[in-house]
Amino acid sequence: MNSTALINIVPDDKQLIKGERLKFVDGRWSDANDAPVPEKMLVCGRIRAVRCWREQKVVDCIAQKGREPLPDVAELNAKIPENEWELGLDGKPKPPWENVWGFYLCNPQDGSIYTFVNGTVGSRIAYDKLNDRIQMIRMLRGANVAPIVKLKSRPMKTKYGNKLRPEFTIVNWVGLSGETTPALEHKAADAPALKDVPEPSASEVLNDEIPWLG
């Protein structure tokens, strides 16, 4: 496995879910069978996509590739007569196409892959917060840097009152090296090892040491 593949799993239109599906319900994380999942995970890739539901199943999906823009869900939904829309939890017709956000995660102990993807406002907030930090750190430390996160929850105000949303709390940042470590000795000899990467200093983030910024 090369280092780019390890930290950049790419979404697939035909199979957005890779490995086990992660669920977040009422502040609790679990897999698709409601079994507990590892508390700490390595983030291996991001997910931005639009998908279409029919009879409570995903019947179509378009995943973002690189910086390529996604279709407008309003335009996609406008092509489907509203009398064909299914009812949502509020009893009103729900647009079949939705935006979704998420991440691919890996258990660093055994290599198990998990997918978290959802179209809720809480998922969008969690995605934006983590994705912004990943982009910043990779700009400062290079593309082969990824976070180890804890699967947590945070309160969020909604029109239905206070609810819990998913949260990815960063534990530390890791890079990849060609060296093996005791924790990874069960893998192939050429498998890349995880190596701690320091967080950027304030001067790096603010660029206050760059002469042309005065």
Residue 211 half-sphere exposure toward CB, CA atoms < 13 A: 0
Ranked by mean pLDDT, the top range of 7-11, 86-90, 97-101, 107-111 is: 97-101
- pLDDT tens-digit series, residues 98-107: 999 999 999 9
Are 44 and 105 within 8 A, CB to CB?
A: yes
- Residues in a beta bridge with 103: 46, 116
Q: What is the mean pLDDT of the chain?
A: 83
- pLDDT tens-digit series, residues 171-214: 999 986 533 333 323 233 333 456 677 766 655 545 544 333 32
- CA 62-66-72 angle, to 5 degrees, is 40
- Residues in a beta bridge with 156: 163
Spatial neighbors of 51 by CB under 8 A, at least 6 apart, are 16, 58, 60, 61, 62, 97, 98, 100, 119
Give residue 41's identity as a one-letter amino acid code: M
Q: Is residue 202 exposed (0-12), middle (13-18) or buried (19+ Cβ within 10 Å)?
A: exposed
Whether the pLDDT of residue 83 is over 70: the answer is yes
Nearest alpha carbon to residue 144 among 1, 41, 5, 47? 5
- pLDDT tens-digit series, residues 15-55: 899 999 999 999 999 999 999 999 899 999 999 999 999 99
pTM as predicted:
0.79
Find the domain containing 131 and state its range.
3-213
Are 146 and 173 within 8 A, CB to CB?
A: yes
Total domains present in the chain:
1
Q: Is residue 110 exposed (0-12), middle (13-18) or buried (19+ Cβ within 10 Å)?
A: exposed
